[in-house]
A = this chain, B = another copy of it.
């Protein structure tokens, strides 16, 4: 189960895809395939797919051990042609982050 914690050097990509209700499920299935394709990359840690309740977005919350691992994951996804395939199903808005604070019960 993916966990969120600060101060561990993990690189997190939050990618917000804009889509339409009729394409949302197909996008989730393609991103599921992409996550399984990326998984063997050294340093890859997790992917978590989120469906927006209004049907217009999908968020992938993905974790890698460090920036070098992240770059290797990107190369592997490119080799699998996932960036081109994603484009038919939605528009990606990716960003790279570090966790700075968490609060829970």
Residues of A that sit less than 8 Å from B by CB: 1-5, 11-12, 14, 16, 28, 32, 35-36, 39, 44-54, 57, 59, 61, 63, 93, 95-105
> Could you tell me the distance between the alpha carbons of A39 and B36 in the complex, rounded to whole angstroms?
35
Q: Which residues of B contact A28 (CB under 8 A)?
A: 100-101
> Could you tell me the distance between the alpha carbons of A75 and B96 in the complex, rounded to whole angstroms?
31
Q: Which residues of B contact A61 (CB under 8 A)?
A: 4, 14, 61
> Could you tell me the distance between the alpha carbons of A46 and B2 in the complex, rounded to whole angstroms?
14
Q: Which residues of B contact A5 (CB under 8 A)?
A: 1
- Across the interface, A47 reaches (CB within 8 A) one of B57, B96, B102, namely B102
Provide 7 A-B residue pairs closer than 8 Å at the C-beta atoms, listed in order of the A residue. A1-B4, A4-B48, A45-B104, A47-B103, A49-B99, A49-B101, A51-B100
> Could you tell me the distance between the alpha carbons of A28 and B100 in the complex, rounded to whole angstroms?
8
